[in-house]
Amino acid sequence: MAGIGFELRKIYGRKTLVSGIWGSIYATMTAIGPSVMAAVLFLSLKFLMDRADISELESRFFVSSFTYIFLISILISSLFSTTLSRYISDCVFRESEKEICASVFGTLTLGTVLSGVLMFLLCAGMYFYSDIPLYFLVIYYCLGVMITNTYNIMTYVSALKQYKEVTFSFFVGLLLAAVVYLICTGIVGWPVVLSAYLALLCGYFLVVFLLVFWCVKAFGKPGKRFFVWLTWFTKYPKLTISGFCYMLGFYVSTMIYWAFSDMREQVSIFSTTPVYDLAMFLAIAVNMSALVIFVVKAETAFYEKYVAYLSALNQGSYARIEKERENMNNTIRYQLFFVYEVQLIITVVLICMANVFFPYLNISAQVLNMFMILSMGLYTVFCMYFTVIFLYYFEDHMGACIGPCIFLLVTAALAVAACIFGRPFYALPLLIGGLCGWILSFWRLRYRLAHLNVYLMCRGE
């Protein structure tokens, strides 16, 4: 996300009220704009479907089946994201932009294969278990591949530094999906669920097409080595483990509850827990502001100190190196704790507001109770993630692995235990697992910062 930091420094550097407002809007749209618009698209289609008076079974099928697509896509992309980010930064350093563009098509190919296998299994299950029509399964299969490719290409956002174009791509895709849905239901007269999935497919296809276009425009024509980036997985396996464990830990309790909890519901081949899933969705929405705060504060303030420290390390005296290291360490501590504190205030305030407004929205007390604990749990998970990002900066790959791995293991173990002890404990695994991962990641960051000179000079672990 360093490219956002560059742009924000230019915006905030004007030091006017308008520049401050524009900087906040820019950070919001670049950090979470695509995710917000994807959520708006899904919720808008869900709203239109409910207005069409579809049955409760059809509504649950749409939500459940799309949730599985989303989970498959996000987990596959997490296998690639951290290692791909390292490959992209190495290519930029070597000024080998054509290799980056070639890797885009290699990533699309491999993502299509992996998601295609899993989507085929889902489609086969629906066909034999529920006798779903083949034409629907073709659309469902293609949508899963498209969403996976969308998340994979989003990894290149930090290298593109064209965040407005990326947000624009999602906005155009949202509009196309809305138009396709209205045509299919209002003019052609197709079934509502089928129309919604066709609309999503068209929207995400346009997003993928535009994102690939921006990649080619930014990096030039691709080279011929489409899969050379795969060798980075053998060079930096801990990066892959770190990114995948973080994302899997995010959803492992959800998947365990889908399979074993006493509140799961079955729709076709899809097993979900609507109460827990709704509470989880709301908790994610409450904590999304943390990403914006981190980009605005940490990314814009840390990078200058980081560059000054590396310059001193290459050319300065020991006294200057120590001075710049202390400045950088103080900046990291101040910015991290600023994000920790501000997001904690936001989360607590929104939880209090939820206690007031949720009853008026007909949201059950059970959802509210889970939401409060899950909101604090996701707060700790995001705090762990921000801490791990600094470990990436300092190439502490082992340290970046420890927190997410412990987070995954603790959350999974406690989720299994929660299935045994009952519903009052379902929200606790994410909170306890996130807290454990956060504490270990922060401890590792402090250790790395204290020994940074030795590590960077001697390249020792």
Residue pLDDT, tens place only, 38-55:
777 777 777 777 777 778
CA 172 – CA 309 distance, rounded (Å):
42
Quick one: pLDDT at residue 18? 43
- List the single range of 11-25, 141-155, 337-351, 367-381 with lowest mean pLDDT: 11-25
Q: pLDDT above 70 covers what percent of the chain?
A: 85
What Å distances lie between residue 237 and 86, 387, 398, CA to CA?
11, 20, 10
**Could you tell me if 243 and 388 are in contact, meaning their C-beta atoms sit under 8 angstroms apart?**
no
Quick one: pLDDT at residue 4? 38
Whether pLDDT at 19 is above 50 = no
What residues have CB less than 8 Å from 367, skipping those under 6 apart? 275, 278, 279, 282, 358
Quick one: pLDDT at residue 26? 52
Q: What is the identity of the amino acid at 254? A: T
Q: pLDDT class for 432, splitting at 50, 70, 90?
A: very high
Quick one: pLDDT at residue 295? 67
Quick one: pLDDT at residue 290? 76
Whether pLDDT at 9 is above 50 = no
- Residue 361: CB atoms within 10 Å: 8
Average pLDDT value over all residues in the chain: 82
CA 393 – CA 395 distance, rounded (Å):
6
Whether pLDDT at 31 is above 90 = no
Whether pLDDT at 461 is above 50 = no
Whether pLDDT at 1 is above 50 = no
Quick one: pLDDT at residue 162? 61
DSSP string, 45-88: HHHHHHHTT--HHHHHHHHHHHHHHHHHHHHHHHHHHHHHHHHH
**Could you tell me if 203 and 173 are in contact, meaning their C-beta atoms sit under 8 angstroms apart?**
yes
Give the pLDDT confidence of 252-295 residue by residue, as tens digits.
Answer: 999 999 989 888 888 888 888 988 988 998 898 888 777 767 76
| Alpha-carbon dihedral 222, 223, 228, 233, rounded to 10 degrees | -30
Q: pLDDT class for 82, splitting at 50, 70, 90?
A: confident
Query: Between helices 17-31 and 2-12, what is the axis angle to 10°?
Result: 170
Q: pLDDT class for 34, splitting at 50, 70, 90?
A: low
Residues 314-319: what's their mean pLDDT? 71
**Could you tell me if 30 and 163 are in contact, meaning their C-beta atoms sit under 8 angstroms apart?**
yes
| Alpha-carbon dihedral 87, 89, 90, 94, rounded to 10 degrees | 140
Whether pLDDT at 6 is above 80 = no
Write down the pTM of the prediction.
0.85
Q: Name the residue with tokens 């659309």.
A: 139
Residues 132-157: what's their mean pLDDT? 88
Quick one: pLDDT at residue 343? 87
**Could you tell me if 439 and 382 are in contact, meaning their C-beta atoms sit under 8 angstroms apart?**
no
Q: pLDDT above 90 covers what percent of the chain?
A: 28
Q: pLDDT class for 11, splitting at 50, 70, 90?
A: very low
CA 208 – CA 147 distance, rounded (Å):
8
What Å distances lie between residue 253 and 4, 388, 418, 455, CA to CA?
33, 21, 9, 37
